[in-house]
Amino acid sequence: MSNPKSFPKLAVFDLDDTLVHEGFADEHPILCDDTLGILTMLRDMGVKIALASHNHKSEIILQNSDIRHYFDSVQAYHDYTDKQSHLKNIMKELSIGPKQTVFFDDLIENLNGVARLGVKVVPVSSIRGVTMSDIRTVFNI
């Protein structure tokens, strides 16, 4: 396992097709297979967790899937742009810089925009969502 000081201090996730399967009712969201394990592991490691979503029902989905308590910051609004503004707000709120931040998303246009901020970006499969393998690679565990 790598030195915890070298871990990113902040993990930011997209919601739809990254943590939950898109297209399911917000009343009964379906988590991607590894979501709960990933959020628990990151919390246990002391990593701050945030959500950057264009889904205006994100808060409802987080509450109904019983994972809201894992998040230190939630930026959920649809501004018809990439996710740079989401990430800037999250990093400012949590006082964590781009070099200490990692962003997971299934859309390349979101990843490209956020990468321009100096944030490490990780593409995830829109079919599986974020996986333990993605986390192990980023955190070298």
pLDDT digits (tens, 9 = 90+) for 48-102: 999 999 888 899 999 999 999 999 999 987 765 678 999 999 999 999 999 999 9
pLDDT digits (tens, 9 = 90+) for 16-42: 999 998 766 667 889 999 999 999 999
Q: Is the dihedral of CA 21, 22, 23, 26 positive or negative?
A: positive
**Main-chain phi, psi angles of 67, to 5 degrees:** -125, 5
Whether the CB-CB separation of 139 and 38 falls below 8 Å is answered with no
Domains of the chain: 4-81+101-139 (3.40.50.1000)
Closest listed residue to residue 90, CA positions, set 65, 110, 71, 108: 71
